[in-house]
Structure 1
Amino acid sequence: MKRGTTKRRMRGTKESMSDGGMTVMRCFLWSLLLCSLSSRAQGFIYTCGGTLKGRNGTIESPGFPYGYPNGANCTWVIVGEEGSRIQLMFLSFAIEEEYDFLSLYDGHPHPTNFRTRITGFQVPPPVTSTGNVFSLRLTSDFAVSAHGFKLNYEELHSTSCGNPGVPPKALLSGAGRFAVGDSVQYSCVPGYVLDGHATLTCITNAGNTAVWDFPAPICRGMDH
């Protein structure tokens, strides 16, 4: 009787340990699965972009205007004719400030060609490359996003300065082909005063490239 009792107890103990071990194993595997899913969700990279050719066109961030994806890494390379330049005209811009960025490269997207990095919710002024290749790279983190951006790009020849842009609260007149010799005039809406040169003229610089003689002015509120 004693032996049978001992045997039953040992069997019960073994079964209990087996059940407990299976429970621990299930919990362990479930934890690994959750961790794996979490890592994938946080580490997913959304790629897009491409090489663009042609005299002009439009670029939008993926999902614009409803928001670009988290984990975005999108690169656009604009290639113009030999001897031309590329100008970017931003129509809309909203990128999570200090966490997501639009990086510009004066040439192909290589660190040596890095020009500037844009972030925030203000529409940037026009940007012009020095050569016939201009690259953009959108990078976002794995948290908050924003509406994104939309821009037009245009190929400029050596005799064109390109659109100088219209700053907030400013008015532009005299717009034409923006060629060498052309001038434009700026003014401000009521309640704002001009800070900078009211007239810009397209000239040829020492490198025989068409440029504006001054940067575009800005309009400041009269109470500032």
Structure 2
Amino acid sequence: MAGQVPTTGGRLSVCVLVLTAWNLLVPVAGAGCPTVRLFGSTRLSPYLRSGTYSMDGPVRPGIRPKYRNDESKTPVFFEDGYWHVENLNRIRVRDSSFYLEDITETFEIWVSGQGEFVVDPEAHFSCADITYICKGDKKTIRCPRTDFQKLLIVRATYGQDWACKLSGCTDLERNADCTSCFWVSRNDVITRVKDRCTRARGNCTLEPSDEMLGGNPCDHISGEVDTYLKVEHRCINIPMSLGCYQDEPVDNPLLPGPSFSHPNMTIQKCITYCRPQSYRYAGVANRFGCRCGNQTQQGFSSRGLSITDCIAPCGGDEFQFCGGPSSSQKMEVFETSVGACGGDLRTNEGIIYSPNFPGPYPEDQNCIWNVQVSSENAIRISVELLDISTEDSLAIIEDRSSQTVITVLNGTSMTEYVSVSSNVSLQFRAGRQRAQQTDGVILRYKGVGHCGPVAVVGDVISVSPNHGGNVALGQHATITCKNGQNITVQCQEDGSFDIPTPYCNVAGKIV
């Protein structure tokens, strides 16, 4: 997979929110990571022990949760742009996500002797599950719903990772070139595991071996070293299903529109049946059935089921699920916008899928989505899934006052884009041939307040991330000056940066 990005919230669950005024189904992100783990290094030990942290109290909309260590009750909380561990002056994590997820290389630890925070690239938070696989054994890591869940490999290490990585390295060597210790980079275990697992549809079988791991990476260490593979992984929901429900097709149908059955039913077959008839929702049930509707009948919320109740394979694709078994009347519901080729989008937020999603997108396609939000907002575009052929392209197009700017997403590491204006176009082109199997595209967009733009003029030579200068509320941007200074600014709620211009002449703000 060329790129896959976790949605905010760690272990996601797809649930349903009732909007009484319109009686519509709306997908809602889950409650974030209920449990996260702090993995440390030698720098962390003088301050606290690494461990497991759980959410402390109920989650309230729009408010970042608090976490607490399961044993020591040490708190983790968000304040002033940082996640803080224990208090404001011990360990802080530079991260603006709503929940703690999988955060690495942003840890700053206060060193009282130096009177400053120092970065510890070996520490990380993770809400991933952990699987240990002994050398010579075989295990399959599997997601509950392989049809729309992806396996995300967060981290992979072999043997006693810290003992092997840090053995023989002084602090000075660790910051320089310590080839006898950095076996993780030398043997690239995580890349090997990702190569095996990234294309898996929600499951992956691993068998640690010398061939896979390039030999025992710890053989330079004297003494006994465990030979096992430790894999940190999460199952990520592709945000398309609106949930699983108990239907009552005769007396009280969940979707009261037309229906049909087909022995080769698939999710996209049902969606493409309902979409041309201008229905907003499509539901698959009983493996072979499909029903359409513009709104659900009253009382649907009481009929919500666990997503794992809709696990009957579709008649036309055993890797998709079409509700529950025959005659169970368990229905899974989707918006018919899933898999459309282009369109005019005027809502403040939404999701764009490649054509024919969740099936393979057709060849020889040119799809354009025109997105427009409120004139005072910019558009934040998040890349949730980007797995397309090298012959295909995905681009963001902006018409600015003096030029048309085209940003091509595939082939880059960009996972988020903030527009300059309140309208952009997204263009997906699929060639007439395809070299490899692909999973497609998912983009999430939202109208947001912003700061900027930051102009690359005068003493400013670059801005990162650079989306034409705009920075969404809460985001950080790093401004690089001609004199070598790097200044980090954050967009505040009032639409201004926390550091005023001119950025390159502000004393004491160099990071």
**TM-score (ref. length: structure 1):** 0.48
Counting helix residues as a fraction of each chain, which structure ranks higher?
1
**TM-score (ref. length: structure 2):** 0.23
Q: Which has the larger radius of gyration?
A: 1
The structure, 1 or 2, with the larger RCO (C-alpha pairs under 8 Å, 6+ apart) is 1
